[in-house]
Structure 1
Amino acid sequence: MTNADCLWQPSAARASSSNMARFHRLTTGRHGLADDDIAGLARWSVADPEGFWSALWDFSSIVGEKGDRVILPGAHITETRFFPDARLNYAETVLRDPDDRLALIACRDDGSSRRLTRRALHALVSRIAQALRAEGIGVGDRVAAIVINDVESIASYLACAAIGAVWASCSPDFGPEAAADRLAQIEPKLLLAVPNYSYAGKHIEIGASIRAVAAAPSITRIVTFGAPAGDYGKPALALEDWLAPFPEAPIAYERLPFDAPMAILFSSGTTGKPKGIVHRAGGLLLKHMSEHLLHCDLKPEDTLFYFTTCGWMMWNWQISGLAAGATLVSFDGSPFHPDKTHLPDLIDREKITIFGTSAKYIDSLAKGGCTPRTTHDLASLRAVLSTGSPLIPSSYDYIYHDWKADLHLASISGGTDICGCFLGGNPRLPVYRGEMQGAILGLDVTTLDPDTGREAAPGEAGELVCRNAHPSMPLGFWNDPDGSRYRAAYFEPWPEIWRHGDRLERTSHGGFVIQGRSDTTLNPGGVRIGTAELYRQVEAISEIEEAIAVGQNWQGDQRIVLFVKLREGAALDSGLIDIIRKRIRSGASPRHVPSKIIAVPAIPRTRSGKISEIAVRDTIHGRKINNSGALANPEDLDHYRDLPQLRD
């Protein structure tokens, strides 16, 4: 790439006033780093992990007792312990200073919203915490939830954290089997649930999912956000009735060790039953503080939004923004209801400064001809965050041309596995087209050649790895007492190096480009090809709404099959097929050109919005889909079965 690919450069004043610059200046005198040595700050954060994480604790003003020791090495990287003498409570930092500043604006797709001050949120959390304790729920007990992204779910999450209980949630669009596969396995004592919800003007009952989870023998009570709607097989009580005996009172926070379990998140489940990934309270808090404060430059005067459901790690991530003193805007429903401008409308209405969403949403608006620059003010908007899948280069162009020229666009990437990011934005660095700006501070992220294990040179693709321990590595998997499943998932073939499963390329700017999942890497003729390389070319073609590429075993080798969902009115004729192949050949390489291009009416996705290449790959080979309940639209796999085009 050349300097012409630089799409945004922070002003000197903006860069120097950022939280990252302030943090840098605090460490300059102690560690000999010049104020403008941004790369040096990154190197120091990895070379001196004790100094970095200790300084971050202080900079974040974590409430609690830090203790004298910062890192206690273990026999294996997974056994490394951070702040082994610390005592803290996640919610105590998040809910500090309960005053009349606005904490939460909870919005729905019908246009309604509710506003809570920090004082009102604190009061609601206090009452829920008391009710939980009255149910006999305490430190280490699990609470399951099938809920929407709204006031009650956020307050309940914080109440569980306040008393040391462990939270696990999924969104209400999960079917009965998918919800039970996740929540029943952790043996929760209590189930919180919405009896119904609305999406794009439709009213949807979820009684079957509630009954499926409530069948777990460990559950003794169901609390519904709204009146119970039927017989769930266990005693059920509406939230307002459950809370009635408990007035507002000071919260009795349980200060626990840094490693106390706080949340269980679940893998997508597309390759088997979803794994319960157990996260520690201190790890989530400190990791999220690094990302919110340093990489997003979140400040008390900011208003933070992330489009997410309660079944995605970005829901947990967004809540931590309250610890920075910012106002949080939550949203539940369809971002396209009543029309495609709903979320840009929300930016203007609520003066959102940091707006987070998925790469798919940005691409959908671009292809739908939405140009907020001409229809909205966007004066408050300072940063746009994107994750869920790689942000294609044309989407960078779209944001800077059709949204706003002066904003920080940060494509970020991590996962449920760490409930945070490996790669993200940097408010002090330029944004280059198609690139993530760099690794998150404190994480030794690079790319290794999968065959030799050597560090790949810029421009070479390899495995995304993290070579050091960090606080939000999970405690482990649920029901994995010896840690063998955990180590097998991330530490093979390199026993002391986290292998994330993404195919990654470093750039000459020090940035990164993700080329897709390495476990779905295409391999025609023994040449590894990342699927994202194809998508960047194909999805720039106006007739194509989205695409999915998989490898088909064929005549002792593998061939690339590209499935495309066309925009309304488009047809996959010989002319369009020729355009697709020429675009891929010139924009990627001749080896990327698919052997088959097939039109389909829908692309299967997980419930967190990621396209499911594994499910499509297994379907075209006639293999069993291990957990179709992990898909948002499993019925769409029928379009890929027994296709005559794949027989020749």
Structure 2
Amino acid sequence: MEEVSELWRPGAQRVGRSRLRAFTDRCGLPEDYASLHRWSIEQPDSFWRAVWEFFELQGELGPHAVLPAAAIRETRFLPEARLSYPANLLRGDPAAPAAISCGEDGVLGTLTRGELAAEVARMAAALRGCGIGPGSRVAGVVANTPEALIAMLATLATGAAWSSCSPDFGVPAIADRLGQVRPQLVVACAGYRYKGRAFDIRPKLAELANLLEPRPRLVVHPYAIAAGDLPAGAEAWDDFMARGAGAELDCLAVGYEDPGLILFSSGTTGKPKCIVHSAAGLLLKHCSELGLHCDIGPGDRLLYFTTCGWMMWNWQASALALGAAVVLYDGNPFDPDPGRLPRAISEHGVTHFGASAKYFAACEKAGLRPFRGCAAPALRTLLSTGSPLLPGSFDYIYENWGADLHLASISGGTDICGCFVGGVPTEPVRRGRIQAAQLGCDVAAYDAQGKEVAGVPGELVCRNALPSMPLGFLDDADGARLRAAYFEKHPGVWSHGDWAVREDDGSFVITGRSDATLNPGGVRIGTAEIYRVVERLAAVEEALAVGQEADGDERIILFVRLAAGAALDAGLAEEIRRSLREQASARHVPHRIHAVAEFPLTRSGKLAELAVKAVVNGREAASTEGLANPAALARFAAAGRGADQDAGQ
């Protein structure tokens, strides 16, 4: 096994205020994280009450934060509580910055907390005037701009539920999602920017409006595209906002069981699931994650590179509840050059920056050395999720982004709109590992028989209830689909769908999705185990591996996207195989290797491993509308038929 070295220890100058340490002191517990974590899962009512009180959430808590039960689905969170998610996000100094917007062209706009609250008040009043309130649903087809944030907070202020899609989705992908939500009103941007271009989505909006039943009211703001012709029946943003002119902020307090946010699964294995979340539950969980695990608080600034179609957009918005500002970036992170986001970090005093693991890998491949090991003055924490952060990326980050940064690799999912495992600012960072299970999360790895394992891969499970677990799925009145999704594989515990190793020191390594795990000769292999070896090679930009059924067994088919000027000849094919054999095992060596120009990706930038696995095995991908580039699948289908074998065969 590869030697694991410590890359960072707490106590560095940039660690910040360590709210986790203050929280431990407040609770009168020992300072070691293991004791705190054990208490958090053994005493859930005390722990979640302490989170509420430590972050001074506004609302009525009642006598219980949690009523535990033997079954996860029977546990009740915040049973007597009433609170408003937007009221908690909008509190604080009205002169302090709240939302800072920027993009490829560097255009900057800032809303203070007072200005953001005033805009939310106007829109909430306008929504109420249209009959929007408890039981209603509002959706957004929006770019990552302040208007999206305003619309989400205003919707929740009325007691209605909010959901959002990214404007680069195709019409069928949006319709697959919003057709299930059945919103009474849709807020949309007229366009979006990417790679220096402005894309007009007004024709898309007109087509979408005709597909949704019942037909929703449509409100359009002129982002990226100058004001002009609107789809039939649509109302301009400014006109709609004028309906609420002069309104005072009025946020309806709701209970835990009231639907607040509707998020969508990626949709590469069927029509996306509409996952209904409690806004109160998300706020409580996010305070723990952002405040205790990321050490975010008043005066901090969080920039997470995301779109409004990824759960990380909802996650980062909750930083407002901790007194921080959010920096909203829209566009391509490499336009006009790979240094665009690092410049934004420096220009806007970002203290916490997050992106997908693939973003950091792409920066490394591009040779980007943004801070030469000495981070931007304000920057304290880097966050990474979306796919496993490989050991080599840890080295790259500490050598080129900042040797004294807290690097928090985190993992969870849309299903809980949060994290199971992640960073701990009072513990060391070890190369290639996620630091620990998060507070309140009884996380383990199970083998196929449901036995807990350590040091070897297993199914990532959570054995207790969390406040951000879904209220349910839309149109799943008896909960059958939700039970099938999370509770059938290992009855009584939440099976998340990740393949993970829990190490003896309590750290975790995520090796890929369990439903995409490779199984040659009956030995289960996480795809990340292959990627971490192959992507170290200079000739390989990115790798994707799937299992192909053959003769009652499974063999590995490896796809590689090559660096400029590289070719998949016999020499490179042999180098790939030799590296896997020496650095992993003979089981990891692929049966065939193919070079492709692009990989199919979900709209949030994740590798669509399941879609590729389907076509390589001669089946149709269950759904391609969740893909950013579905046409890329054709090359993979040909590979499944044995076409274009690599030069090493």
The reply to whether TM is greater than 0.5 is yes
Helix, strand or coil at the partner of 1:356: strand
Matches within 5 A, 1:5-154: 5-11=5-11, 17-28=17-28, 33-35=29-31, 37-73=32-68, 76-154=71-149
Helix, strand or coil at the partner of 2:573: helix
Cα-to-partner distance string for 1:239-279 (whole Å, 9 max, x where unaligned): 10111232243212111112211110000111100010000
State the Cα distance separating 1:74 from its structure 2 match. Answer: 5.7
Q: In the aligned structure 1, how far is the partner of 2:621 from the partner of 2:174?
A: 17
1:346 matched to which residue of 2? 344
Q: In the aligned structure 2, how far is the partner of 1:43 from the partner of 1:73?
A: 16
2:190 matched to which residue of 1? 195
Helix, strand or coil at the partner of 2:638: coil
Identity, % of aligned pairs?
51
The code of the aligned residue for 1:150 comes to T
2:176 matched to which residue of 1? 181
Q: In the aligned structure 1, how far is the partner of 2:621 from the partner of 2:535?
A: 27
Question: What's the Cα RMSD here?
Answer: 1.8
Asked if 1:632 corresponds to 2:624, the answer is no
1:454 matched to which residue of 2? 451
- TM-score, scaled relative to structure 1: 0.96
State the Cα distance separating 1:510 from its structure 2 match. Answer: 1.5
Helix, strand or coil at the partner of 1:499: strand
Helix, strand or coil at the partner of 2:371: helix
| Aligned with residue 369 of structure 2, among 371, 374, 388 | 371
Q: In the aligned structure 2, how far is the partner of 1:327 from the partner of 1:68?
A: 32
Cα-to-partner distance string for 1:377-427 (whole Å, 9 max, x where unaligned): 612110100001000000000000111100000110000000000111000
Helix, strand or coil at the partner of 1:519: helix
Q: In the aligned structure 2, how far is the partner of 1:176 from the partner of 1:390?
A: 31
State the Cα distance separating 1:16 from its structure 2 match. Answer: 9.4
2:529 matched to which residue of 1? 533
Relative to structure 1, is the Cα distance of residues 229 and 76 closer, same or farther in structure 2, using a 3 angstrom cutoff? farther
Relative to structure 1, is the Cα distance of residues 647 and 505 closer, same or farther in structure 2, using a 3 angstrom cutoff? same
* Structure 2 residue runs without a partner (length 5+): none
Relative to structure 1, is the Cα distance of residues 561 and 319 closer, same or farther in structure 2, using a 3 angstrom cutoff? same
* Structure 1 residue runs without a partner (length 5+): none
Q: In the aligned structure 1, how far is the partner of 2:243 from the partner of 2:284?
A: 35
Asked if 1:464 corresponds to 2:463, the answer is no
Cα-to-partner distance string for 1:160-197 (whole Å, 9 max, x where unaligned): 11111110110001000000000121111001111222
Relative to structure 1, is the Cα distance of residues 4 and 68 closer, same or farther in structure 2, using a 3 angstrom cutoff? closer
Q: In the aligned structure 1, how far is the partner of 2:12 from the partner of 2:199?
A: 51
State the Cα distance separating 1:548 from its structure 2 match. Answer: 0.4
Cα-to-partner distance string for 1:39-72 (whole Å, 9 max, x where unaligned): 1000000000011001111011110000012223
State the Cα distance separating 1:148 from its structure 2 match. Answer: 0.2
The code of the aligned residue for 2:191 comes to N
Helix, strand or coil at the partner of 1:272: coil
- Name whichever of 224-233 and 311-320 sits farther off: 224-233
Cα-to-partner distance string for 1:111-142 (whole Å, 9 max, x where unaligned): 10101111100100000000000111001200
The code of the aligned residue for 1:441 comes to L
| Aligned with residue 552 of structure 1, among 548, 551, 556 | 548
Q: In the aligned structure 2, how far is the partner of 1:108 from the partner of 1:333?
A: 6
| Aligned with residue 279 of structure 2, among 264, 281, 306 | 281
Relative to structure 1, is the Cα distance of residues 277 and 576 closer, same or farther in structure 2, using a 3 angstrom cutoff? same
Matches within 5 A, 1:561-600: 561-600=557-596
Contact 1:104 1:116 in 2 (8 A): yes
2:393 matched to which residue of 1? 395
2:429 matched to which residue of 1? 431
2:355 matched to which residue of 1? 357
The code of the aligned residue for 2:450 comes to G
- Name whichever of 516-525 and 373-382 sits farther off: 373-382
Relative to structure 1, is the Cα distance of residues 241 and 375 closer, same or farther in structure 2, using a 3 angstrom cutoff? farther
Cα-to-partner distance string for 1:453-492 (whole Å, 9 max, x where unaligned): 11102x1110000000010000000110000000100001
The code of the aligned residue for 2:27 comes to T
Asked if 1:407 corresponds to 2:441, the answer is no
- Name whichever of 615-624 and 281-290 sits farther off: 615-624
The code of the aligned residue for 1:25 comes to D
Asked if 1:494 corresponds to 2:493, the answer is no
